[in-house]
Amino acid sequence: MGGVAVTALAASFVVLGYGFVRTGLDGLNDASAGAARERSVDGTVLAKDKVSEPQGSHSKRIEVRFTTAAGTSYRFWEAGEADIGDTIRVRYEPGRPETATTHSVTSNRTGYGMLTLVGLALVILMPLLILRLGREGLRDIRRAVRLRSAVG
């Protein structure tokens, strides 16, 4: 009975890994396509804030103002560590200033690449684990049959 539970758990990890791979590859494609369209301008940090997270942790965020090439000014909040008054690089898609971010394309690609690798590890390693456990289970069954035959 325990073997079935382990097999079901390993199979669910394979499905989860497949989801990670798909999400990671889609994210890598989106990051590359977005990088080709993005505009880059300087922004100014207007404010800092600390947000309480579950279990007593905190995350820092900053408010950034930037001006598009058309001369329109926008503000947004994002996770970050810059000081008030700092000038930082802002990237956004033309015609969609709500996509503004201070995070680099490289950091996005790194995150999606790691997600893809974790997914691949789950997809490859979990079936190997199932095979190994199955082989060990068969070996234990054969030993038990031999012992029973020797005793009887």
Of 11, 1, 3, nearest to 128 (Cα)? 11
Contact 146, 138 (CB under 8 A): no
Any domain includes 98: no
The alpha carbon dihedral of 102, 103, 105, 106 has a sign of: positive
Whether residues 21 and 53 fall in one domain: no
- Residue 34's pLDDT is 62
Q: Which residues pair with 40 in a beta bridge?
A: 91
Residue 43 phi, psi (nearest 5) = -125, 165
Q: Is residue 43 located within the same domain as residue 29?
A: no
Q: Are residues 5 and 45 in the same domain?
A: no
Query: Given this model, what pLDDT does residue 67 score?
Result: 94
Q: Between the CA of residue 14 and those of 51, 74, 133, what are the distances in Å?
A: 35, 43, 16
CA distance 129 to 81: 42
121 and 111 belong to one structural domain:
yes
Number of domains making up the chain: 2
Are both 8 and 53 inside the same structural domain?
no
Q: Is residue 67 part of a domain?
A: yes
Both 147 and 114 in one domain: the answer is yes
Q: Rounded to an integer, what distance in angstroms lies between the CA atom of residue 67 and that of residue 57? A: 33
In a domain, 100, yes or no: no
Note down pLDDT in tens along the chain; length 152 residues.
566 777 778 888 889 999 999 998 888 887 766 666 778 899 999 999 988 878 878 889 999 999 988 899 999 999 888 999 999 999 988 888 888 989 876 667 788 899 999 999 999 988 888 888 778 877 888 888 888 887 76
Domain that holds residue 136: 1-37+105-152
